[in-house]
Structure 1
Amino acid sequence: MADGDRFPIPRIGIWTGALDTVPASRSRELAAELEELGYGAVWLPEVAGRDPFVHLALILSATRTLIGATGIANIWARDAVATSGAVKGLTEAFPERMLLGLGVSHQNLVGDLRGHNYDKPLTAMRNYLDGMDKAPYLAQRPTTPVRRVLAALRPRMLRLAAERTDGAHPYFVTPEHTARARETLGAGPLLCPEQAVVLESDPDKARAIGREYTKVYLGQPNYVNSILELGFTEADLADGGSDKFVDALVAWGDADQIVARVREHLDAGADHVAVQALPETKRGVPDGQWRDLAPALMSLRDR
């Protein structure tokens, strides 16, 4: 990454899978509202919903400045040539508004769901980046660089992110992880962690919502290994996580308490924080939280 060529991503964005639960027309409306509220980016996941590149094309066409990011596009879902074509097409249509987040995913989502051989994920990612770099492209080329980050948690993937991409998008992490990731990445690459939040001051209710989130990821060895390296114990991770663990992964309380956690990531070296407001129900849309948190979160934009 050349000096002066850093991707100009704003400090605060939204990470959400909720836009998949509403009609495409409503998704576009909500994206436009997020932009009006001041959020600088929206991160969309990939499991088995809308193709994230199709979804981002819809969202970007309904907004003016919002950055669309994949959080995270699965390298096993399409080959390197297909991904290269998708991201170049969106970058050409929406200069400096497309950020490709790439990840190796997990054994159950690669082997069981897609039927691929989940073997040597670091090597697979390195080979995938090689494939993207040499992929042919016969359409109109973008006038701005293709921007990409890796879903990196542990040192080797973080180092690959620093060497071959614009940076890293760690998911299911704490500010302590952000500090370690910054140390591994060095000063130049982007660091864009996700932070789960619940705008709820009742401890029992907030932790119940948070535990529904944490228990999903505690079934994935990649996340468990990362968390254990931060000093948590196996006992902390049992039954969806102890209160201590849930509190560390999910910021809850009033807007000031949530802003304080986001600020911790920024102080630890994050360039951008993708805030994931957790809905009360599995297919709910946390648009009320997005609206209520916006004034306080926007205070961090120009810090």
Structure 2
Amino acid sequence: MTSLDFGAFGITTGLDGSPHSLEAAVAAEELGYPAIWLSGGPLPGLPTIHDLVDATSSIKFVTGILAVDTYSAAEVASTYADLAATAPGRFTAGLGGAHGPHPIATLNTFLDQLDGVPGEATPAGAGVGVPVEHRLLAALGPRMLELARDRTAGAYPFLITPKYTAEARQVLGPDKLLAVSHLVVLETDPERARAIARDTISFFPQLPGYAASLKRQGFTDADLKDLPDHLIDSLAAWGTPTQIADKLHQHHTAGANHVAINVITGVTGPQPIEEWRALATALLS
């Protein structure tokens, strides 16, 4: 299997480098979560990754994702080289976000450039900017999964069912990392839990890549329009911590190495540290 080890469960969240974000990263580490996957949207820039690593002692950080339309291969390589020197093994570059007409070609070109960028201590032409074993792709479709298999350490899909996890594992083969980001609502009332999840999920069927992914998983156009309960229950784990853990373990059974919990609460505000705490016993014991 892959040499990358993020444990069974980690956290997907947006950290912006503010004092509260740094405190949240420290709290996650103290709770025992082995990895934080940094949502690309809230990330104000690559220096934030340095700040988060400096504020903690051992927890690993993965960008989930760095958009290749936003960051250059040289910038990503420089960040990796700096952190590999000061905090080896604690940063893995998750890449994606190629939104043009030819995303596979765009990512291939970016990876070509990344292979040609020397590390800080490496002469030009003598190495790679980010080693294959420390870069991942946010892959959904089979062609992107194949690219992740062939040119990175693995894949980091979002909004997939355990059944699709098994299909992704088949494409990746046994030796690549498969880390799944899954929505979590710590709420036992079905109506409220589904409403919170539905509000978050409703954005994604409007995006062509996610719409295509959901259809590949067997959801219909009507499902994508109406967001019925069976779709919500397939894409979000809700209930008690034990019920949520049981749901998420289905991804492990299907072939995932790691599941990153994306806790949503229905409110905008501070990081959901108390929810992370409540889930830690069920997920990390």
Q: TM-score range by the shorter chain?
A: over 0.9
Q: How many residues were matched structurally?
A: 279
The answer to whether structure 1 residue 172 and structure 2 residue 132 are counterparts is: no
The answer to whether structure 1 residue 205 and structure 2 residue 196 are counterparts is: no
Separation in 1 of the partners of 2:30 and 2:213?
Answer: 35
Is the CA contact (8 Å cut-off) linking 1:279 and 1:285 kept in structure 2?
no
Is the CA contact (8 Å cut-off) linking 1:15 and 1:274 kept in structure 2?
yes
The answer to whether structure 1 residue 281 and structure 2 residue 281 are counterparts is: no
1:123 aligned partner: 105
Q: What CA deviation, in whole Å up to 9, does each residue of 1:152-191 have, x standing for no partner?
A: 0111111111111110001121111111110000000000
RMSD: 1.9
SS in 2 for 1:15: strand
**TM score, norm. by length of structure 2:** 0.92
**TM score, norm. by length of structure 1:** 0.87
**Identity over the aligned pairs, expressed in percent?**
38
Separation in 2 of the partners of 1:95 and 1:123?
Answer: 31
The answer to whether structure 1 residue 253 and structure 2 residue 239 are counterparts is: yes
Q: Which one of the candidate residues 24, 31, 50 is aligned to 1:57?
A: 50
2:78 aligned partner: 85
SS in 1 for 2:139: coil
1:237 aligned partner: 224
Please, which runs of 5 or more residues in structure 2 have no aligned partner?
none
Q: 1:152 to 1:33 in 2, by over 3 A?
A: same
Is the CA contact (8 Å cut-off) linking 1:92 and 1:140 kept in structure 2?
no
Is the CA contact (8 Å cut-off) linking 2:188 and 2:239 kept in structure 1?
yes
Q: What CA deviation, in whole Å up to 9, does each residue of 1:12-47 have, x standing for no partner?
A: 100012x33xx6222111111101111110011123
Separation in 2 of the partners of 1:65 and 1:138?
Answer: 23
Q: 1:154 to 1:269 in 2, by over 3 A?
A: same
The answer to whether structure 1 residue 290 and structure 2 residue 267 are counterparts is: no
- Please identify, of 82-91 and 181-190, the stretch whose mean Cα deviation from structure 2 is larger: 82-91
Residue identity opposite 1:197 in structure 2: V
Residue identity opposite 1:96 in structure 2: G
Q: What CA deviation, in whole Å up to 9, does each residue of 1:89-127 have, x standing for no partner?
A: 222221111111000354xxxxxxxxxxx1200010011
2:115 aligned partner: 133
1:186 aligned partner: 173
Q: Which one of the candidate residues 128, 134, 150 is aligned to 1:163?
A: 150
Please, which runs of 5 or more residues in structure 1 have no aligned partner?
107-117
Separation in 2 of the partners of 1:217 and 1:284?
Answer: 23
Q: 1:99 to 1:30 in 2, by over 3 A?
A: same
Separation in 2 of the partners of 1:122 and 1:250?
Answer: 28
Q: 1:212 to 1:105 in 2, by over 3 A?
A: farther
